[in-house]
Structure 1
Amino acid sequence: MSASEPAIMEVIADHIMRVMYFDLFRYAVTAAAMFAVIFIFKGWADLRRIQQRRASKGDYAREITSSVRTVFFFGITTLATLFLREAGIIRFHFDSFSPAVLAVQAAAMIVVHDAYFYWMHRGLHTRALYQATHLHHHKSRTPTPFTAYSFSVWEAITEAAFVPLFLLVTSLLGIPYIGMAILIFIWFQIIRNVMGHAGVEIMPAGWVDNKWVGWINTTTHHDLHHSTFNYNFGLYFTWWDRWMGTEHPQYKERFRAVAQPLRRARDKVTGGGFA
């Protein structure tokens, strides 16, 4: 072993710990925060609970254990992305940037990821792949905030592959990506993922009927995927499910049934009307 090799190994070990801690921190903070909100505001959560069935202690244990495993594979992928950057294959920077460019790049990454997730998700539901890849996630028939990263090894790898693949394509196209846009994306991804698995509807009544926001997924949208399996494959938006005819036919009715009780309870207290 040369004199430089121990130093290289030390640098690698340092990066691994930093990356693993960051990915674990994102998952733990967002999932625990959502769980705490549901626990503290139990009255609100009970009114907006999507399923009558409750997750068991075994469900929580499985989800947390497999999510920690997912964090490991996400961390390995992040580490690989950093080394590809050092090798000059992938390019992104943290230099000065325009807020407008930052916003466009973060939005582009989110929109492309939504398309990637939809088609990847549908692929995992095929007979050839489902049992080996996606079945583990669907063991959480009644999702909880901790379901967000409850993946099999193969699904974790497939999920994590998006960032290096996206950056590889943008690098080949000569688009200098902003590191801050990537950070915005990965925080947005975990927050929306946890919201989608919350088990209680987060969005206000009328959301699905509003033309300005109705295309943004709700918790009910993804919860229906867990309870029915063959509908609602999208992550952030309803676009692909609508275009491909895979949106649950009763999605809006289910959302209204969950969201309206909160309005009725509020109007009962305030004396307000209900439309």
Structure 2
Amino acid sequence: MIDPATGETLVYIAERVSQHFANVLYFDLGRYLIAAGGMTILLFVFGSWAKARRIQRDRTAKRSDYIREVASSFRTILVFAVVTLATLVGREFGVIKLSLQEAPLITVAWHFALIVVAHDAWFYWIHRAMHSKALFRATHLHHHKSRTPTPWTAYSFTTIEAVLEVAFVPLFLLVTSQLGIAYAGFAIFLYLWHQIIRNVMAHAGSELFPAGWVDNPLTDWIATTTHHDLHHSSGYNYGFYFTWWDRWMGTEHPRYKEEFRANAKPLISFGTRAAHASERA
């Protein structure tokens, strides 16, 4: 059959769609494997460094936890790929304005900042909603089976939660398109990598941020590993990138800063010890 609008065969169109789907699937799978795998390797290579900063010292993830997390993450990646493909189709039909051309650095910068701030707000509110009695079991309980998070927990979602998480991007682009903004594709690319890297960092299990982070007004608004780890063991801390919403809404863990101080260490503490050893010699 021939598409009268384009003259292309439906078989050819189906092949193009399949190829696009394969590309976005590989991209989402690659992001997950690189980020989660890379963090796992770093925590293993710098084992003593990570152990000194371990957040849940009396509990470790089991083999069954890793298997569950990876298996459900593959399902999440499949959902993400479907929605990403739908977003690209929306662009082809002109519903979504997404520019794949080069954009000025300042444009990429403010587009990136805007989508990160908007996603943080989206995450906070859908996260709180999923913790309601009506939704928790069907949407978010699976993620909380990982009481001791690992880097592989990042995408361990139910299908419903995966849809809610990934729906942000097309909805955000629909809104910005209505405002006449042709969003820079490179800003979206940076956002997607930022999202998975921060996600893996939040579930690392060891505090990756240096001592003093929560006591400096220039940095304490950026959420740490302890911030999200506490969420997995308490009913607090629903934010993702920032601490703003938790503080505004009174949902920040009352002992968050104390817990962070107990877990965090100076990033260059090993250098200090070496210097002291040299002085003694």
Q: Could you say which TM-score interval applies, normalised by the shorter chain? A: over 0.9
Q: Is the 8 A contact 1:48 1:262 kept in 2?
A: no
Kindly tell me: are residues 207 and 248 of structure 1, through their superposed partners in 2, closer, same or farther at Cα, counting changes over 3 Å? same
1:186 corresponds in structure 2 to 192
Q: Which of the numbers 110, 121, 134 marks the counterpart of 1:115?
A: 121
1:198 corresponds in structure 2 to 204
Matched, 1:50 2:32: no
Q: Which of the numbers 169, 178, 182 marks the counterpart of 1:176?
A: 182
Q: Is the 8 A contact 2:222 2:241 kept in 1?
A: yes
Matched, 1:248 2:267: no
Aligned residues: 271
Instruction: Tell me the distance in 2 between the aligned counterparts of 1:177 and 1:261.
Output: 39
Instruction: Tell me the distance in 1 between the aligned counterparts of 2:139 and 2:16.
Output: 33
Percent of aligned pairs sharing the same letter: 56
| CA displacement, residues 90-122 of structure 1 (integer Å, 9 cap, x when unaligned) | 011122321011100100000000000000100
2:166 corresponds in structure 1 to 160
Instruction: Tell me the distance in 2 between the aligned counterparts of 1:225 and 1:113.
Output: 18
| CA displacement, residues 1-25 of structure 1 (integer Å, 9 cap, x when unaligned) | 4471110111111111111000000
Shift of 1:259: 1.1
Instruction: Tell me the distance in 2 between the aligned counterparts of 1:257 and 1:28.
Output: 30
Instruction: Tell me the distance in 1 between the aligned counterparts of 2:225 and 2:142.
Output: 20
Q: Which runs of 5+ in 2 are unaligned?
A: 3-7
Shift of 1:175: 1.1
What RMSD in Å do the two structures reach over aligned CA positions? 1.5
1:150 corresponds in structure 2 to 156
Q: Which of the numbers 126, 133, 136 marks the counterpart of 2:132?
A: 126
1:257 corresponds in structure 2 to 262
Instruction: Tell me the distance in 2 between the aligned counterparts of 1:263 and 1:21.
Output: 37
Superposition TM-score, scaled by structure 1 size: 0.95
Q: Is the 8 A contact 2:115 2:191 kept in 1?
A: yes
Instruction: Tell me the distance in 1 between the aligned counterparts of 2:181 and 2:272.
Output: 52
Superposition TM-score, scaled by structure 2 size: 0.93
Shift of 1:176: 1.4
Shift of 1:266: 6.0
Shift of 1:261: 8.2
Q: Which runs of 5+ in 1 are unaligned?
A: none
Shift of 1:246: 0.3
Q: Which of the numbers 22, 26, 36 marks the counterpart of 1:21?
A: 26
Code of the residue aligned with 1:37 in structure 2: it is L
